[in-house]
Amino acid sequence: MNHTAVLDVADLPEHGLGTASQTYWGTLAFMLIEGTGFALAIVVYLYLMSLAPQWPLGAPPPDLLAGTTLTGVLIASLVPNLFLARWAQRQELWKVRIGLIVMTVLGIAPLILRVFEFPAMHIEWDRNAYGSIVWLMLGLHTTHIITDLVETVVLTCLMFSRHGDSPRRYGDVSDNVMYWNFVVITWLPIYACLYWFPRL
């Protein structure tokens, strides 16, 4: 039986970056699903607020310090994250290693601030509907910070191993950068709901 080659793909790279990568599309789909979850939580928050005679229920508005500081840290983290994306695109190993270490620290910082944020809400999760939705929204976002932090730590370890300097790993770093941007962007409407809507 004779076989005729239609197209020789021997010279194509084994892994692609960005839209040429399957994990890029998987990460994008994952973000779409999670973004829908955040949107639903915000809708529930707004719905409960529309029904309540006063908002927040049975508590003063949250203290601004912890949440605003956390927001500032998250927004500031976008700068080194964008540099990390550029270095991963150029496959600059040492710069990527340094960028991942910086992003690991910037992934831990919001978790420390989040410890102070829960008490700043002035309400327990089981006190009423307001407490439940506030803790749900903070809990959802905390889970996403932890998820990205774990992935960043694993990637940092991989980039310092013999497996680090490969196109596939740089693609993983690029996807992780995109996910962190998502974590930061999704926090902004949650921050507005939790901290400023009760002051309207």
27-76 pLDDT tens trace: 999 999 999 999 999 999 999 999 998 999 989 999 999 999 999 999 99
The tokens for 10 are 């021997």
The residues near 107 (Cβ < 8 Å, ≥ 6 apart) are 145, 148, 149, 152, 180
Alpha-helical (H) ranges within 52-166 are 64-90, 93-120, 129-159
Domain 21-55+63-199 falls under CATH 1.20.120.80 = yes
Report the alpha-carbon distance of residue 112 to residue 86 in Å, rounded: 28
Angle at 73 between CA 169 and CA 184, to 5 degrees: 55
| 130 pLDDT above the threshold of 90 | yes
| Residue 168: pLDDT band with limits 50, 70, 90 | confident
Task: Enumerate the domain spans of the chain.
Answer: 21-55+63-199
CA dist list (Å): 45 to 61, 133, 186, 189:
15, 6, 15, 11
Give the percent of the chain with pLDDT over 90: 79
